[in-house]
């Protein structure tokens, strides 16, 4: 209490005597004014302002103030003595932002004090252009992190993998923490997305609200998130108000997306020739007289606009930022459309004599989407090109369809429907909403200011609902008479996640022993509740489809995590840094005896640059060695309750008859009572370097990851469990890799600067054990890579000991003397005269082993040119479009005529069913893609107003260089194709080329 | 000082918090219940028993596909994972009665060629399907003992009916153990006394398993199963257990090396004595309303196009045969898969069906000779199974898409009992006589021909005639492999059919193929198991 009084006394004294200082802050590079720079008097915690749009500031300081501190994200902070008259300060972005403060989870640190493998990407390095999901902004920017968009559909999300992924059956997705709120990435069983009706849960976040991404790559950095960090951690920090005068930013980006390329299929003339040559007379008779390119019909040039306004400033010492965004983006698939309205509010007041920092964030977002029926994509590839689009009859909405007068509906049964009709007569509309918010209180204790108490309370609520409506005239679901036709089906699910965290933080300089201690200890409670609503099915007229009442109206999926955590960072002479973290997690997904686990980590860093022999070097501006080790865990992607045998009632159409009644049955589910966490231990050796005033800087990291107790589907001995397979802790897998990044600034003058960034990652994945008895020769491994074609449901890949995951497992094709494949002839590996599963061999993997990212930015006066290129090497793709449709049987041996992949003209394959599993269909899918090319012009302040104007234009997905013959070598875990089919190219929603024009105004 | 007090207070607050929140780690599903909840009401018992039976018929908990009983690691395509389709594929595709067109379908290759391995998904599928059904039976039996029922407050009628249910579960378990004994010889073994989820089963020898099945069937029949014709449709009764006893005794020398033909006759007599008669029209045995054939059918697997939907079962037997048009099959199209070899067709002197009405073969667009193993037009198909009613009307429970079938599959019907009786008499069993045997066979033939023109004399009644007659009468009812093994014609060159051993004219194969291998997956999971000989 005495201390408090003393503080109050001091402050009131200071208040008494004040003076005003003015000045301007500019960028050292080009002399342009820097807005938003924080200006504070050193030692005076109370004052402070930020620079305006012209870089100018006015600050009132106490009588005793001697020095002003200037700090700005991405720039080195500077201290300047207060002189007489206005000051002009130049800030430099060059010094590798070493003093930049990095959010590291339960606290922050200076970048130069980091001990783990941590990467930060902030606004100036974001990918530019039309971005519908925020993670796309850092694609290719961080070594060791691969971010692949799932498809070309607006808002469709991405597959994110850190260092090859550390799991087989559990989740491989990173933990994403938005302003301190960990988001749930688990998708409830039977759902396509964590928020149904939304492509990606991250699509709700307006990319323009994001200030930075912090990527925690190694276990020593991530272990503070313990059981959830094995897939890596991405911390997203949103923009905050900086106080000071009112600032308004308006930005608008307008785009045009175009289809780059179509799947090569037979044109009408080629198609006719094939039918005439190979078809029976009844097939020839089916030929039409039109010439329709169905792919032209289903795709469109799509326009989009993305606008946001943000207001920030401070009202009576209350810094705020409010932003509103509206994005409307059409898909290149006709009828596909996403609209998002978002609003965010951030309040960051500092109260009680700077003792209480408040951080309040609320984000609300609403989407209004219509999902184009992606069935039309495959339909357009295989629909007969000799048929017209419209039938000149009002039946079936006027779309031409295959008819059969002998059926009650008049439609031929079990054949493809008009692709354009599938789009235009299908209304899958949803209006998902999401709100995320949290309140963080950081209280520096009055009697012990070095000790902070931190409280973080947050929520994440989403409600995804929509309706699939198909009119009763649509051929897609037409029944005789029309009364019981069409669809009018609802879907809905909600997520309600809550967070409570509390921790202490202690920060102390121990000058007498030249040490510094920084420690945190706390408690975290997370609850995740998803509710999936079940509905009966309805016809278009609103009447219920009989017997479709679901057994339960809604199903809840809930899990809870409770954790204790702590971290101590000790530094000696500001040269030697030691960090130890510890987290103890409890998860409701495990039986009580296995519920809790410990996740420790330790790291050491040596700032070699600070040693006497380098301290004064002009050549070496930064050198730091990092050694880290830690254990992280995984429990996402597995069942919530199956450590215990619960009984689930069957649906009414899977019942059994006793007498005249049909009884639904109780089925006990397989269970595994001793299930525990999957654990990944990571060792990391890293070197951060900088030369020549950090005009060259970067890092080099070597890592070894070993995942044990893999949460893996393993067989249960027959008769011992209700399910023959269960997710158990069996097996192990390693990832070894090296990451290298280098950033160069070859030119740095007042008018011209040129930055280059390059990063490369090599990762080697190997499965080391999969069975209870290690190296069991009986166990071949388990399949992945589901393909379509034949009866469907065949695997083309295997996960087996000794090879990387998702290794293709196929027959070896035999070729004739001219090098053409001989249909149905394969190498008989075991020479038993049969070609069957015993002749499959392991070949290339669907996963890349090398990732490369390259960014460059060139500033010349007011002009800026930049580009981002990305490359993945060493992976193979299976062309399922060719294998499924590239046969003569596809054209002439079905009930009707179907179009085929143009490859049939060279292979002349008839359609031997085993050919689907031929290695002929895999090919090298290594690629180089230019993600982004953009040019900007900064008009600066317009005439005498305080308005700053920038214009930019760009192209996304500029080109792809690859040997792969399919549409796109890069295959994400597409939303509709089914997760878990890496490397299988089948009817993907093509990624468009996007042309952008943007404007940015600062008032 | 302040510091210490504050820390202490904060720590104790956190400890309270921890105590309060730790119980939040006990989460339970809102749509799933525990065993004690299921087995707390009479309806719960009926619904648990419904699953025990439904596991015979369905592929999972959702009609069609969607929530499979067998994980995709064993069978990727759920439509292939029901009991009957798997059982049919192993009992019929391996013989002269059937081949399947689509060679890339998982596990198909090697079945007709008789060169399967221990990693075949169809072989594995039946093994795990049988094990799943046995596990459900064990679960039900352990929850329906008198001790379990005591104290639940059930009325005596309820307790009585649950005792019947328990006997039915014992019967069904014995049936599935018989399937394992017949196909896999030496499977793992567990009963209701083994704790599910916490033990590793031991292997049982074929002869020990025979004794167990025999005693279980007798036990179920004597204490619990309802008398013949007294149970509601769908439930097994005493006649079902007696029929299975007759069947295992007929094959006893294969299973144990000791013939038991006298016992076979004893149980045939019990079934026949219960008042079953042949259904008048053979061509109406396998129709959508055949649950009404209670004169001949002893125990059926129930299917229903609306309520018991799956892509196996009789849906498979209706869609599977190649070339059958919709107006014959009653469903929305042929899967162009199943055809018969010419060697089997030749068992009928006139395959047109004009003489012997059992010859229900589809010949339009098909060649008689199976010139190629994997061509849909090579070989005749059969329309023995049709999803229309006995009046020719559409199935009243037909689903909207005409996908599914309502044909019940008789696991036991009187015709088989007549054939067991006759064969057992011919093979020297006592308790029956040759004249009755001839009467029974001629009863089948009179029905087949519509008159007595096909009847045979006592001199014509030989064991080899019986084998052929079983073929004609029972084809596509999953008997063929077991019959050919009993006659030592399955792997030997005593009888060759098209593509046996992978050769167009047929060839003998290694006798190890008389039984199937234990799946390698289970050998990996269960160290107590030894692979069958020569695999």
Find the CB nearest A771 among B107, B118, B524: B524
Cβ–Cβ of A413/B333 closer than 8 Å? yes
**Complete DSSP assignment for A550-575:** -SSSEEEEEEEEEEEEEEEEEEETTT
CB pairs under 8 A between A and B: 313
Residue of B nearest to A590 (CA): B25
Q: Are A498 and A458 in contact (CB under 8 A)?
A: yes
Cβ–Cβ of B48/A720 closer than 8 Å? no
Find the CB nearest A917 among B25, B104, B528: B104
Residue of B nearest to A413 (CA): B332
Q: Could you tell me the pLDDT band of residue A783, with boundaries at 50, 70 and 90?
A: confident
- In the structure encoding, which two tokens stand for residue A20, read together? 């005003």
Cβ–Cβ of A665/B69 closer than 8 Å? no
Which of A258, A427, A222 lies closest to A332, judged by CA? A258
Instruction: Find the helix or strand (DSSP H, E) in which B20 lies.
Output: helix B2-22
Selected for mutation to probe chain B from A718, A726, A840 (highest B CB count within 10 Å) is: A718
Q: Decide if B36 touches A, using CB distance below 8 A.
A: no
Instruction: Find the helix or strand (DSSP H, E) in which B471 lies.
Output: helix B463-474
pLDDT, mean of residues A611-635? 92
pLDDT digits (tens, 9 = 90+) for A695-708: 999 999 999 999 99
Q: Decide if B520 touches A, using CB distance below 8 A.
A: yes
Find the CB nearest A717 among B31, B34, B525: B525
Find the CB nearest B502 among A649, A662, A834: A834
Cβ–Cβ of A837/B120 closer than 8 Å? yes
Selected for mutation to probe chain A from B54, B325, B327, B528 (highest A CB count within 10 Å) is: B54
Q: Decide if B391 touches A, using CB distance below 8 A.
A: no
B positions 419-438 inside 8 Å of A (CB) = none
Cβ–Cβ of A646/B33 closer than 8 Å? yes
B144 vs chain A: nearest CA distance in angstroms?
15
Cβ–Cβ of B332/A653 closer than 8 Å? no
B97 vs chain A: nearest CA distance in angstroms?
21
Q: Sort out which chain A residues have CB atoms less than 8 A from B332's CB and list them.
A: 413-414
Whether residue A118 is predicted with pLDDT greater than 80 in this model: the reply is: yes
Q: Decide if B200 touches A, using CB distance below 8 A.
A: yes
Selected for mutation to probe chain B from A188, A656, A712, A800 (highest B CB count within 10 Å) is: A656
Residue predicted with more confidence, A47 or B111? B111
pTM tops 0.80, yes or no: yes
Selected for mutation to probe chain B from A494, A538, A545, A654 (highest B CB count within 10 Å) is: A654
Residue predicted with more confidence, A794 or B472? B472
B positions 489-518 inside 8 Å of A (CB) = 502
A484 vs chain B: nearest CA distance in angstroms?
9
Whether residue A32 is predicted with pLDDT greater than 80 in this model: the reply is: no
CA A474 to chain centre: 36
> What is the model's pLDDT at position A25?
84
CA angle (A897, A900, A904) in 5-degree steps: 125
Find the CB nearest A414 among B70, B128, B333: B333
Q: Please give the biggest Cα pair distance in chain A.
A: 103
Cβ–Cβ of A720/B190 closer than 8 Å? yes
Q: Could you tell me the pLDDT band of residue A3, with boundaries at 50, 70 and 90?
A: very low
B201 vs chain A: nearest CA distance in angstroms?
7
Report the distance separating Cα A278 and Cα A318, nearest Å.
78
| Residues in Cβ contact with B421 at an 8 Å cutoff, skipping those fewer than 6 apart | B264, B265, B268, B269, B272, B432, B436, B437, B440
Report the distance separating Cα A218 and Cα A238, nearest Å.
23
- In the structure encoding, which two tokens stand for residue A961, read together? 């260089």
pLDDT above 90: percentage of residues in chain A: 58
B positions 12-31 inside 8 Å of A (CB) = 14, 17-18, 21-22, 24-31
| Residues in Cβ contact with A130 at an 8 Å cutoff, skipping those fewer than 6 apart | A253, A255, A257, A304, A306, A329, A956, A994, A996
A876-879 vs A984-985, strand pairing mode: parallel
> What is the model's pLDDT at position B5?
53
One digit per residue, the tens of pLDDT, for chain B of length 535 reads: 445 555 555 555 555 565 566 788 889 888 889 999 999 999 999 999 999 999 999 999 999 998 999 998 888 889 999 999 999 999 999 999 999 998 778 889 889 999 998 888 999 999 999 999 999 999 999 999 999 999 899 999 999 999 999 999 999 999 999 999 999 999 999 999 999 988 999 999 999 999 999 999 999 999 899 999 999 999 999 999 999 999 999 999 999 999 999 999 999 999 999 999 999 999 999 999 999 999 999 999 999 999 999 999 999 999 999 999 999 999 988 999 999 999 999 999 999 999 999 999 999 999 999 999 999 999 999 999 999 999 999 999 998 778 999 999 999 999 999 999 999 999 999 999 999 999 999 999 999 999 999 999 999 999 999 999 999 999 999 999 999 999 999 999 999 999 999 999 999 999 999 999 999 889 888 989 999 998 8
Instruction: Find the helix or strand (DSSP H, E) in which A739 lies.
Output: strand A732-748
Q: Sort out which chain A residues have CB atoms less than 8 A from B102's CB and list them.
A: 790-791, 913
Residue predicted with more confidence, A62 or A984? A984
CA B281 to chain centre: 24
Q: Could you tell me the pLDDT band of residue A792, with boundaries at 50, 70 and 90?
A: low
Cβ–Cβ of A654/B502 closer than 8 Å? no
Find the CB nearest B524 among A652, A773, A792: A773
Cβ–Cβ of A645/B35 closer than 8 Å? yes
Selected for mutation to probe chain B from A653, A677, A792 (highest B CB count within 10 Å) is: A653
Cβ–Cβ of B3/A837 closer than 8 Å? no
Residue of B nearest to A798 (CA): B73
**Complete DSSP assignment for B89-149:** HHHHTTSTT-EES-TTSTTTTTTTTT---TT-HHHHHHHHHHHHHHHHHHHHHHTSSHHHH
Q: What is the 3-state secondary structure (H, E, C) of A305-335?
A: EEEEEEEEEEECCEEEEEEEEEEEEECCECC
Q: Sort out which chain A residues have CB atoms less than 8 A from B127's CB and list them.
A: 718
Whether residue A169 is predicted with pLDDT greater than 90 in this model: the reply is: no
Q: Decide if B354 touches A, using CB distance below 8 A.
A: no
Residue of A nearest to B102 (CA): A913
Cβ–Cβ of B302/A657 closer than 8 Å? yes
Selected for mutation to probe chain A from B42, B233, B304, B307 (highest A CB count within 10 Å) is: B307
Q: Decide if B42 touches A, using CB distance below 8 A.
A: no
Buried b (16+ CB within 10 A) or exposed e, A278-314: bbeeebeebbbeeebebbebbbbebebebbbbbbbbb
Report the distance separating Cα A785 and Cα B359, nearest Å.
44
**CB half-sphere exposure, B52, CA atoms < 13 A:** 31
| Residues in Cβ contact with B463 at an 8 Å cutoff, skipping those fewer than 6 apart | B423, B426, B427, B487
């Amino acid at each position: 209490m005495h201390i408090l009084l003393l503080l109050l006394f001091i402050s009131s004294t200071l208040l008494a005597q004040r003076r005003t200082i003015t000045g301007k802050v500019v960028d050292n590079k080009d002399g342009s004014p820097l807005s938003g720079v924080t200006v504070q008097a050193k030692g005076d915690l109370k004052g402070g302002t930020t620079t305006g749009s012209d870089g100018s500031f006015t600050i009132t300081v106490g009588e005793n103030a001697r020095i002003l501190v200037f700090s700005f994200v991405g720039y080195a902070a500077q201290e300047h003595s207060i002189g007489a008259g206005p000051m002009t300060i130049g800030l430099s972005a060059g010094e590798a932002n070493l003093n930049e403060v990095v959010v590291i989870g339960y606290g922050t640190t200076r970048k130069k004090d980091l001990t783990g493998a941590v990467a930060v990407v902030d606004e100036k390095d974001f990918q530019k252009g039309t971005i519908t999901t925020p993670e796309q902004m850092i694609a290719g920017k961080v070594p060791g992190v691969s971010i692949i968009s799932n498809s070309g559909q607006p808002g469709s999300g991405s597959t994110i993998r850190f260092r090859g992924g550390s799991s087989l059956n559990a989740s491989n997705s990173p933990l994403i923490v938005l302003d301190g709120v960990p988001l749930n990435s688990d998708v409830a069983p039977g759902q396509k997305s964590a928020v149904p009706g939304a492509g990606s849960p991250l699509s709700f976040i307006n990319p323009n609200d994001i200030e930075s991404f912090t990527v925690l790559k190694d276990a020593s950095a991530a272990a503070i998130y313990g059981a959830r960090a094995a897939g890596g951690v991405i911390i997203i920090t949103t923009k905050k108000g900086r106080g000071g005068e009112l600032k308004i930013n308006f930005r608008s980006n307008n785009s045009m997306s175009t289809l780059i390329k179509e799947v090569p299929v037979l044109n009408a003339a080629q198609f006719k020739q094939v039918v005439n040559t190979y078809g029976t007379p009844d097939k020839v008779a089916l030929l039409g007289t039109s010439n329709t390119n169905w792919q032209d019909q289903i795709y469109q040039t799509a326009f989009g606009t993305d606008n946001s306004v943000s207001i920030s400033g401070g009202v009576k010492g209350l810094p705020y930022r409010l932003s509103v965004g509206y994005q409307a983006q059409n898909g290149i698939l006709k009828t596909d459309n996403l609209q998002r309205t978002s609003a965010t509010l951030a309040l960051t007041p500092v109260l009680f004599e700077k003792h209480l920092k408040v951080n309040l964030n609320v984000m609300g977002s609403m989407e209004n989407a219509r999902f184009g029926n992606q069935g039309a994509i495959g339909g357009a590839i295989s629909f007969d090109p000799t048929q017209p689009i419209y039938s000149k009859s009002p039946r079936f909405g006027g779309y031409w369809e295959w008819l059969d007068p002998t059926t009650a509906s008049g439609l031929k049964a079990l054949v493809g429907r008009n692709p354009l009709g599938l789009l235009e007569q299908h209304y899958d509309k949803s209006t998902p909403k999401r709100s995320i918010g949290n309140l963080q209180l950081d209280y520096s204790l009055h009697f012990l200011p070095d000790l902070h108490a931190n409280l973080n309370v947050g929520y994440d609520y989403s409600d995804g609902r929509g309706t699939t409506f198909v009119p009763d005239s649509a051929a897609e679901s037409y029944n005789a008479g029309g009364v019981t036709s069409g669809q009018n089906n609802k879907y809905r699910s909600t997520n309600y996640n809550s967070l409570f965290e509390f921790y202490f933080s202690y920060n102390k300089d121990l000058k007498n022993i030249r040490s510094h201690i920084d420690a945190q200890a706390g408690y975290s409670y997370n609850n995740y509740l998803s509710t999936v609503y079940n509905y009966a099915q309805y016809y278009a007229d609103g009447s219920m489809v009989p017997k479709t009442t679901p057994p339960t109206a809604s199903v809840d999926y809930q899990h809870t995590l409770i954790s204790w955590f702590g971290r101590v960072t000790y530094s000696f002479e500001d040269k030697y840094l030691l960090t130890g973290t510890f987290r103890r997690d409890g998860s409701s997904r495990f039986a009580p005896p296995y519920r809790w686990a410990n996740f420790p980590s330790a790291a050491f860093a040596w700032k070699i640059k600070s040693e006497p022999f380098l301290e004064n070097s002009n050549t070496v501006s930064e050198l730091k060695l990092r050694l880290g080790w830690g254990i992280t865990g995984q429990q996402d992607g597995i069942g919530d309750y199956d450590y215990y045998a619960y009984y689930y009632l069957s649906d009414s159409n899977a019942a059994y008859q006793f007498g005249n009644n049909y009884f639904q049955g109780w089925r006990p589910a397989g269970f595994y009572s001793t299930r525990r966490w999957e654990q990944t231990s990571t060792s990391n050796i890293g070197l951060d370097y900088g030369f020549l005033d950090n005009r060259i800087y970067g890092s080099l990291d070597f890592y070894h990851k070993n995942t044990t107790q893999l949460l893996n589907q393993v067989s249960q001995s027959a008769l011992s469990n209700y399910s023959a397979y269960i997710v158990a802790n069996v097996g192990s897998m390693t990832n070894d890799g090296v990451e290298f990044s280098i950033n160069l600034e070859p030119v740095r003058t007042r008018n011209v600067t040129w930055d280059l960034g390059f990063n490369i990652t090599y990762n080697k994945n190997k499965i080391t054990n999969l069975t209870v008895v290690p190296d069991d020769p009986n166990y071949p491994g388990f399949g992945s890579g589901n393909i379509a074609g034949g009866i469907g449901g065949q695997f083309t890949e295997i996960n087996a000991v000794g090879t990387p995951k998702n290794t293709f497992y196929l027959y070896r094709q035999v070729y004739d003397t001219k090098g053409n494949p001989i249909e149905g002839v394969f190498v008989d590996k075991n020479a038993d005269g049969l070609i069957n599963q015993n002749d499959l061999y392991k070949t290339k993997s669907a996963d890349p082993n090398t990732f490369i990212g390259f960014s460059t930015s060139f500033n010349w006066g007011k002009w800026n040119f930049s580009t981002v290129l990305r490359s993945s090497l060493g992976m193979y793709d299976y062309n399922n479009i060719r294998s499924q449709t590239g046969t003569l049987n596809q054209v002439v041996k079905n009930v009707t005529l179907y179009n085929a992949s143009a490859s049939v003209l060279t292979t002349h394959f008839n359609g031997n069913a085993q050919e689907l599993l031929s290695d002929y269909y895999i090919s090298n899918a290594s690629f180089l893609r230019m993600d982004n090319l953009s040019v900007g012009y900064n008009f600066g302040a317009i005439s005498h107003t305080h308005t700053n104007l920038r214009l930019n234009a760009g192209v996304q997905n500029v080109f792809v260089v690859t040997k792969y013959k399919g549409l796109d070598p890069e295959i994400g875990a597409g939303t509709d194709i089914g997760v878990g089919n890496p490397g299988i190219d089948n009817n993907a929603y093509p990624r468009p080329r996007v042309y952008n024009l943007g404007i940015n105004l600062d008032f | 000082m302040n510091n210490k007090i504050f820390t202490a207070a904060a720590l104790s607050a956190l400890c309270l918090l921890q105590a309060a929140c730790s119980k939040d780690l006990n989460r339970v599903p809102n749509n799933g219940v525990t065993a004690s909840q299921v087995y707390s009401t009479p309806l719960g018992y009926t619904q648990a028993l419904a699953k025990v039976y439904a596991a015979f018929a369905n592929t999972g908990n959702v009609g069609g596909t969607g929530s499979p009983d067998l994980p995709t690691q064993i069978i990727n395509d759920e439509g292939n994972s029901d009991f009957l389709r798997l059982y049919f594929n192993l009992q019929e595709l391996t013989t002269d009665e059937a081949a399947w067109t689509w060679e890339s379908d998982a596990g198909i290759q090697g079945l007709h060629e008789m060169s399967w391995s221990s990693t075949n998904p169809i072989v594995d599928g039946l093994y795990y399907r049988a094990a799943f059904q046995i596990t459900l039976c064990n679960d039900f039996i352990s929850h329906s003992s008198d001790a379990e029922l005591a104290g639940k407050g059930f009325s005596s009628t309820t307790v009585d009916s649950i005792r019947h249910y328990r006997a039915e579960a014992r019967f069904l378990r014995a049936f599935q153990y018989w399937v394992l004994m017949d196909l896999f010889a030496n499977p793992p073994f567990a009963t209701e006394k083994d704790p599910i989820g916490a033990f590793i089963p031991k292997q049982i020898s074929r002869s020990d398993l025979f004794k167990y099945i025999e005693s279980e069937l007798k036990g179920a029949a004597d204490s619990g199963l309802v008398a013949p014709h007294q149970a509601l449709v769908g439930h097994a009764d005493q006649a079902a257990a007696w029929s299975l006893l007759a069947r295992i005794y007929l094959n006893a020398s294969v299973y144990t090396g000791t013939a038991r033909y006298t016992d076979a006759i004893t149980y045939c007599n019990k079934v026949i004595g219960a008042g079953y008669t042949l259904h008048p029209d053979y061509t109406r045995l396998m129709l959508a309303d055949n649950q009404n054939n209670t004169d001949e059918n002893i125990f059926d697997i129930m299917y229903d196009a609306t309520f018991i939907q799956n892509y196996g079962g009789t849906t498979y037997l209706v869609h599977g045969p190649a070339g059958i048009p919709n107006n014959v099959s009653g469903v929305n199209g042929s899967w162009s898969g199943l055809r018969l070899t010419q060697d089997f067709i030749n068992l009928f002197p006139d395959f047109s069906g004009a003489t012997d009405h059992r010859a229900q073969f589809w010949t339009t667009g098909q060649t008689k000779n199976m010139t190629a193993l994997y061509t849909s037009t090579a070989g005749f198909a059969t329309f023995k199974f049709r999803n229309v009613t006995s009046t020719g009307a559409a199935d009243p429970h037909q689903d909207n898409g005409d996908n599914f079938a309502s044909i019940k599959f008789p696991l036991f019907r009187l015709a088989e009992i007549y054939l067991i009786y006759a064969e057992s008499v011919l093979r020297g069993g006592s308790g029956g006589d040759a004249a009755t045997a001839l009467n029974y066979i001629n009863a089948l033939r009179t029905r087949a021909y519509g008159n007595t023109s096909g009847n045979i004399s006592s001199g014509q009644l030989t064991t080899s005639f019986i084998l052929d007659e079983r073929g004609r009468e029972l084809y596509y009812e999953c008997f063929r492999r077991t019959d050919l093994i009993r006659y030592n014609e399955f792997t030997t060159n005593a009888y060759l059919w098209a593509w046996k051993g992978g050769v167009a004219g047929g060839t003998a194969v290694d006798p190890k193929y008389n039984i199937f291998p234990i799946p390698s997956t289970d050998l990996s999971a269960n160290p107590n198991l030894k692979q069958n000989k020569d695999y």
